[in-house]
Amino acid sequence: MHTVWVRLNAVVFFGLTVLLGLSCLAGFSKIMHSQMHQPIIETLELQTLRSIKSHGGVDRALLSFNIDADMNPAFHWNVKQLFVYVVASYTTPSKEINNVVIWDTIIENIDSTKKKHIQQTNVFVKYALVDQGNELRGKDVTLKLMWDHMPITGFVYMDEQKNLDPSMSTFTLPSEYSSLK
Amino acid sequence: MFDKQVIELKKLWANKRQLLFQLLNLAMIVFSALMIWKALMCYTKSESPVVVVLSGSMEPAFQRGDILFLNNSVDQVGVGDVVVFKIKDRDIPIVHRILKVHEDSDGKVELLTKGDNNRVDDRGLYAPGQLWLEREDILGKCVGTLRYVGMVTIALNDYPVLKYVLVGMMGLFVLTSKEG
């Protein structure tokens, strides 16, 4: 009854239960934090439209944008990293909803306060704005900043910009293929 | 150290009523685990509600050995969601993030994914000629994570012998442990 095995089994099992319990507590501990502490987003606007071209049968636009977003409030001790990304949304006759990520970055919890405040001008897109067909010309495009809290343990939580005038982030693409030289 | 266990087993063999009781006990544990798994499948509408991350393509968000909880009862998956998807004719599902969403007026979506730690999108991983994922390819959206737990699964996969040793040991202990 009191063999080594029984004791070892009891200790390991109890240890695992405690760990699981603590993980659950950690997961629940900051569940309302993100609703109360929102990042401060000041700017997200088109800087330059470099080109819009037909690229192998599909329309492709290259552009750069300005961004000023202080992500510091979003961090708490159960956030391992923030995955921040800019989404371009538009509507075409054949596809009602088009959401395309054009830029993303990872901010880790160990990064400096300065790095958690994204403040850049004339950022060139990481992924080109490519349409599924050739219907990109003349469309209204809205940029939107979104982010994803990746927890150390617990729930994934996603959020997007609020309180920012959407007209600032909206622009119309030219109706003909064009490019800046 | 196993001597005692062997003696217990011999005693158990002599006492058929006790043996039956212990076997039922063992069956109870196995079936409870199975029931929990099946209940989770029902609740999340996903064929595998819990998956283990096997590659480093989502680092630093998810590392090898993390487990992810999936939910497939959501109607739509959106851009930026971390999803698990399966490619036709491939056994191992992949955990990556959605990069593009195109949806037509009928609600039919076409998706493109990419791993955070990969340089290019996933078109090279899809079936030959496949450009887009569809909703049916998605096994679930990641809603939560727990670290290191999946290391056990990885170890069991890498060393299959360990599987039999572990199951054998557990069976032996359940059979020979006396309650109270």
Which chain B residues are Cβ-neighbours of A80 within 8 angstroms? 60-61
Which of A1, A127, A158 has its CB closest to that of B99?
A127
Which of A5, A87, A152 has its CB closest to that of B1?
A5
A6 band by pLDDT with thresholds 50, 70 and 90: confident
CA-CA distance, B168 to A22, in Å (whole number)?
30
CA-CA distance, B141 to B101, in Å (whole number)?
15
Which residues of A lie closer than 8 Å to B, measured between beta carbons?
A: 1, 3-6, 9, 23, 27, 80-81, 83, 85, 87, 94-101, 106, 108, 127, 132, 146, 148, 150-156, 158
Cβ–Cβ of B144/A151 closer than 8 Å?
A: yes
Boundaries of every domain in chain A: 31-179
Q: What is the pLDDT of residues B107-132, one digit of tens each?
A: 889 999 999 989 888 998 898 889 99
Just list the catalytic residues of B.
Answer: 57, 96, 122
State yes or no: pLDDT of B35 exceeds 90: yes
Q: Position of tokens 């217990």?
A: B8
> Over chain B, what is the mean pLDDT?
87
**Is the preceding omega at residue B60 within 30 degrees of 0, hence cis?**
yes
pLDDT of residue B102: 94
State yes or no: pLDDT of B1 exceeds 80: no
State yes or no: pLDDT of A181 exceeds 80: no
Cβ–Cβ of B100/A108 closer than 8 Å?
A: no
Which residues of B lie closer than 8 Å to A, measured between beta carbons?
A: 1, 4-5, 60-62, 78-82, 97, 99-105, 110, 116, 121, 142-147, 173, 177-178
Which of B78, B121, B144 has its CB closest to that of A155?
B144
Q: What is the pLDDT of residues B56-99, one digit of tens each?
A: 888 888 888 899 999 998 888 889 999 999 998 888 889 999 99
pLDDT of residue A178: 87
Q: What is the pLDDT of residues A41-94, one digit of tens each?
A: 999 999 999 999 998 889 999 999 999 999 999 998 889 999 999 999 999 999
Q: What is the chain B residue with the closest CA to A22?
A: B146
Question: Do the Cβ atoms of B80 and A87 come closer than 8 Å?
Answer: yes
3-state secondary structure of A18: helix
Cβ–Cβ of A154/B79 closer than 8 Å?
A: no
CA-CA distance, A180 to A52, in Å (whole number)?
9
CA-CA distance, B96 to B111, in Å (whole number)?
12
Which of B60, B82, B99 has its CB closest to that of A156?
B82
Q: What is the pLDDT of residues A110-169, one digit of tens each?
A: 999 999 999 999 999 999 999 998 889 999 999 999 999 999 888 888 888 887 888 889
Q: What is the CATH number of the domain that holds B38?
A: 2.10.109.10
**Most B-contacting residue of A19, A99, A109 (CB-CB within 10 A), to test interface:** A99
Read off the pLDDT of each residue in B42-68 and give the average, rounded to a whole number: 89
Which chain B residues are Cβ-neighbours of A100 within 8 angstroms? 79, 99-101
Cβ–Cβ of B79/A98 closer than 8 Å?
A: no
Residue numbers of the domain that contains B147: 1-159+168-180
Question: Do the Cβ atoms of A71 and A108 come closer than 8 Å?
Answer: no
Number of domains in chain B: 1
pLDDT of residue B180: 37
Rg (CA), chain A: 23
ipTM over 0.95: no
CA-CA distance, A91 to A89, in Å (whole number)?
7
Read off the pLDDT of each residue in B15-32 and give the average, rounded to a whole number: 88
* CATH architecture, range A31-179: Sandwich (2.60)
Q: How far is A132 from chain B (nearest CA, A)?
A: 8
Burial of B86 (0-12, 13-18, 19+ CB in 10 A): middle
A1 band by pLDDT with thresholds 50, 70 and 90: low
pLDDT of residue B179: 53
Cβ–Cβ of B80/A158 closer than 8 Å?
A: yes
Q: What is the chain A residue with the closest CA to B79?
A: A99
